[in-house]
Structure 1
C-alpha cells in the first residue's frame, strides 16, 4: 500500500489529490458513520493541541479555536456531524473551495485556545524551533 497505514485507522485522500482542505473534509466524512455526535477538524500540523482544550470545543453547535492574535483557526474546530454533512451538501463540489467558506452562514462559537497551542509546524525551520518554546 501507499502512505501511512495504522491498524483500525481509515486513511483517505481528497479526490482529486491536492484539491484542498474542504475536499479533504468531505473525503474524511465519508468514513464517519451517520449519527456520530461530533467531528473534529484538526490540522495535522498542530502538535501542541491537548485533549482538555479539544473537549471544550465539543458542543451542540459548531465551535472553532481562536489563536493568540484573535484569528479563527478553521482547521481546529468541532462540528456536530449532521451540521457538517448539511454544510458540505450546500457547498456541493468541494474541490478547491477555501476552508473559510465552510463556515459562511454558520453560527459557531469561538474558544480562545491556550497560548501557543494552535501553533503549526510547516517547515523544517518550524520543527527545529520547537525546543525554543
Structure 2
C-alpha cells in the first residue's frame, strides 16, 4: 500500500555558479536523456505545489504548466534566502515542504515517501532528511513542517546557510538501504556527473 503524502510542496533550488562545470547550470546537465531538473520535477509530481528557485539559462526548456520560477532577494544571496523566496509561492495548506538541491538526479517519489514516513512517525513538528554513508546530514534533501520553516525563513539574512532554516525542528535522519543510487547524490563535480551517468545507464 502506497502511503499518501498529504498536502506537500517541493522547492527546488537551482542557484549557484557551478564553477566546476564552466558556469553551466547543474540543473540543466543531462543524465539518461533528461536534464537533472526534468528528473527532479518528475520525482515531485505528487506535490500540490512545485517551485523552482534560481536563474535558468536562456535556452532552457519551459517548465511544466503551473510550476513557477522565482529568484531570491537579493540574487545570489544563498540557499536560505532562496527557500524564503520559494516559500512565498507555496500555498498555506501545504503541511510539509520538500527542500531540495537542484542537482539530485536520483531523487524519486519513493524517496520522498520514505522521508514522509519518518517525519510523520515522529510527529507534525518534525522533519526528515537523508544521511549519506558517512553520517553527514543532507540538508537539501529533506521534508519539513512548512509553518516552522516559514518562521525560520523570515529571519534569515543574505548568505545564511540552509541549516538555519531548520533551527528548533526535530530531525529524523534517514538512510537509503536500496540497491538503487541514493537520492541525496548530487552532481558537484564532473566526476560526480560521470558517476551519475554510469549508474543511470546501469539502471536501464
Q: TM-score, normalised by structure 1?
A: 0.85
Displacement after TM superposition at 1:114 (Å): 4.1
- Where in structure 2 are the equivalents of 1:9-88 lying within 5 Å? 9-58=67-116, 59=120, 60=124, 61-88=126-153
Question: Hey, what's the Cα distance between the residues in 2 that align with 1:100 and 1:70?
Answer: 16
The answer to whether the 8 Å contact 2:78/2:160 transfers is: yes
| Residues 7-53 of structure 1, C-alpha deviations (whole Å, 9 max, x = no match) | 21110111111100000100000000112121100111111122112
Q: Secondary structure at the match of 2:129?
A: strand
Q: Which has the higher strand share?
A: 2
| Residues 31-80 of structure 1, C-alpha deviations (whole Å, 9 max, x = no match) | 00112121100111111122112112123321111112111000011111
**Tell me, which stretches of 5 or more residues in structure 2 are unaligned?**
1-54, 200-204
Question: Hey, what's the Cα distance between the residues in 1 that align with 2:70 and 2:103?
Answer: 17
Asked if 1:121 corresponds to 2:187, the answer is yes
- Tell me the matched-pair count: 130
Q: Secondary structure at the match of 1:53?
A: helix
Give runs of ≥4 in structure 1 deviating > 3 Å. Answer: 2-5
Q: TM-score, normalised by structure 2?
A: 0.58
> What's the Cα RMSD here?
1.9
The answer to whether the 8 Å contact 2:152/2:167 transfers is: no
**Tell me, which stretches of 5 or more residues in structure 1 are unaligned?**
none
